């Protein structure tokens, strides 16, 4: 059977957090951005915008706001993916003379889905170009500071940040973490009534406790949830003031 290069790339891809000083070429950058824009999208609305961060001071501030991760400041290519209904609402208001339907949680979720699908296309494209990438979900933290830093208009929300660059030799040789067995993830027709036996296979009890403290109960997790609530409050309040039910 002929090797499937796309499947092989998906299996090989892992998060890369350390890069050489070699810049990402303009040609490769444009290829990644164009690939992102070919992603599936709800109604061909493309409910996202992509910020290519080139200013060192903004990259530095992002590295601090995103849970203090210096790799963001050092990454050759930084892309911030923004859920964006502002572009369409601007056109809608012009078309209906200022009155539009109020945006809701469904609109936000749809825009977030569009945004993440585009981001994943960028990740796959980067891997095909032998470039390493890493998702930074912490871009949803510290919304009150993130919004003016990126000059985000209303009806937008930061969803994901991608660091991209040429991986170091150590990163190339580092083993990709194992994924769960398919039986733990894929079910037929309906969700299983009792997930406890499958869930018990995730990690030994002591490992689960450490994971809980490091991820689920961590300061950054609390901040992410607080900011997510602020993002939606901002999204909804602005739409309420500009539109009608």
Please tell me the least confidently modeled range out of 83-87, 134-138, 209-213, 216-220. Answer: 209-213
Q: What is the arithmetic mean of pLDDT over 84-110?
A: 87
* Total domains, the chain: 1
Cβ–Cβ < 8 Å for 229, 141:
no
Are 166 and 76 a contacting pair, CB within 8 Å?
Answer: yes
**Mean pLDDT, residues 55-60 taken together:** 98
Which position has the higher pLDDT, 141 or 235?
A: 141
Give me the pLDDT at residue 243, please: 45
How far is it, in rounded angstroms, from Cα 175 to Cα 11?
Answer: 12
Q: What percent of the chain has pLDDT over 70?
A: 93
At 83, give phi and psi (nearest 5°). Answer: -65, 130
Using an 8 Å Cβ cutoff, are 115 and 83 in contact? yes
pLDDT greater than 60 at residue 244? no
> Would you state the torsion angle of the CA atoms of residues 30, 35, 36, 40, taken in this order, to the nearest 10 degrees?
160
pLDDT of residue 98: 65
pLDDT, mean over the chain = 91
C-alpha to C-alpha distance for 230 and 117, rounded to whole angstroms: 23
Q: Which of 44-48, 60-64, 197-201 has the lowest mean pLDDT?
A: 197-201
pLDDT band at 38 (very low <50, low <70, confident <90, very high): very high
Model pLDDT for residues 142-188, shown as the tens digit of each residue:
999 999 999 999 899 999 999 999 999 999 999 999 888 888 889 99
Question: What's the CATH code of the domain at 10?
Answer: 3.40.109.10
- Tell me, what's the pLDDT at 102? 79
- Helix, strand, coil share of the chain (percent; to 5): 55, 15, 35
Predicted local distance difference test score (pLDDT) of residue 241: 52
C-alpha to C-alpha distance for 135 and 128, rounded to whole angstroms: 17
Q: Which residue do the tokens 């960028």 mark?
A: 122
Cα–Cα distance list, 136 to 71, 161, 171, 207 (Å) = 10, 5, 17, 23
Query: Whole domain around residue 12: which residue ranges?
Result: 5-242
């Amino acid at each position: 059977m002929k090797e499937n290069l796309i499947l092989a790339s998906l299996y090989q891809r892992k998060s890369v957090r350390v890069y050489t000083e070699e810049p990402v070429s303009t040609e490769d950058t444009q290829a990644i951005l164009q690939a992102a824009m070919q992603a599936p999208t709800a109604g061909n609305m493309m409910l996202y915008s992509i910020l290519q961060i080139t200013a060192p001071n903004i990259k530095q501030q992002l590295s601090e706001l995103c849970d203090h991760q210096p790799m963001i400041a050092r990454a050759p290519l930084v892309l911030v993916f923004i859920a964006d209904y502002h572009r369409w609402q601007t056109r809608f208001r012009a078309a209906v003379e200022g009155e539009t339907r109020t945006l809701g949680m469904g609109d936000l979720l749809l825009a977030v889905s569009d945004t993440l699908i585009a981001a994943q296309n960028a990740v796959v494209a980067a891997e095909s170009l032998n470039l390493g990438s890493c998702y930074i979900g912490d871009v949803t933290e510290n919304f009150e500071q993130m919004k003016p830093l990126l000059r985000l208009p209303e009806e937008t929300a930061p969803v994901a940040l991608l660091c991209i660059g040429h991986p170091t030799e150590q990163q190339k040789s580092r083993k990709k973490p194992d994924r769960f067995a398919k039986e733990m993830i894929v079910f037929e027709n309906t969700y299983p009534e009792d997930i406890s036996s499958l869930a018990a296979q995730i990690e030994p009890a002591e490992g689960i406790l450490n994971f809980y403290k490091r991820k689920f109960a961590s300061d950054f997790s609390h901040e992410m949830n607080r900011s997510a609530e602020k993002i939606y409050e901002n999204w909804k309040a602005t739409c309420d003031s500009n539109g009608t039910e």
